[in-house]
Amino acid sequence: MSDQPFTNPNTAAIVDFLRTIGLDVRVEPLPETTFLPGIWIEQGGLVVDETRLRYPGDLLHEAGHLAVATPERRPTITGDAGSDPAEEMMAIAWSYAAAVHMGLDPTVVFHDDGYQGGGSSIVENFSEGRFFGVPMLQWLGMTVDPAQSSSRGLPPFPHMLQWLRSVDIPSDAQVEADV
């Protein structure tokens, strides 16, 4: 359980999960204006101000950005996690997998006030097995695409083999060793 009391049980569960996988989460007052209400990234960790937090699921998505960043880059991220399209797709897939793992309704993360109004479309596609970002997560050894899971003898996405990226750009030998 979280060492900080949260009024929203989703916020408490998300913070507990993030801390369990090794991401730093601090509870501190934040200024009124941040890139997302109630959330700030500082040196690879999340800062949350529940009094300003509009959508608890945004924490999970921003954590996804940190989780897929290289281990060397992660502690240098402050402010916005960036706008790299590949990292965005991986963060979306990662946060979907995290929501499923936690038993959290994915609409908590993929709400229609985010994702350019397409949150429900993302949930629909992922729940129907139409994933994006998963091949890149597999390439990094973090999960296994459903089409390859049986041949590898591993559970398929949304199951994650590891929650935090541990390699920069892996060779095929590294990916095989990781999975």
Q: Is 153 left (phi over 0), alpha (psi -120 to 50) or beta?
A: left
Q: Token match 């596609």: residue? A: 125
Query: What is the distance in angstroms between the CA of the first residue and the CA of the last residue of the chain?
Result: 30
Task: Please give the Cα distance from 64 to 101 (Å, whole number).
Answer: 14
Q: Give the pLDDT score at 67.
A: 98
What is the predicted pLDDT for the residue at 167? Answer: 80
Q: Which residues contact 126 (CB under 8 A, 6 or more apart)?
A: 93, 96, 106, 158
- Domain regions of the chain by residue span: 9-132
Residue whose pair of structure tokens reads 């601090």 in the numeric block:
26
- Give the pTM: 0.90
pLDDT value, residue 168: 73
Please list the pLDDT of the chain residue by residue as tens digits (179 residues).
445 689 999 999 999 999 999 999 999 999 989 999 999 999 999 999 999 999 999 999 999 999 999 999 999 999 988 889 999 999 999 999 999 999 999 999 999 888 888 899 999 999 999 999 999 999 999 999 999 999 999 999 999 999 999 987 655 544 454 44
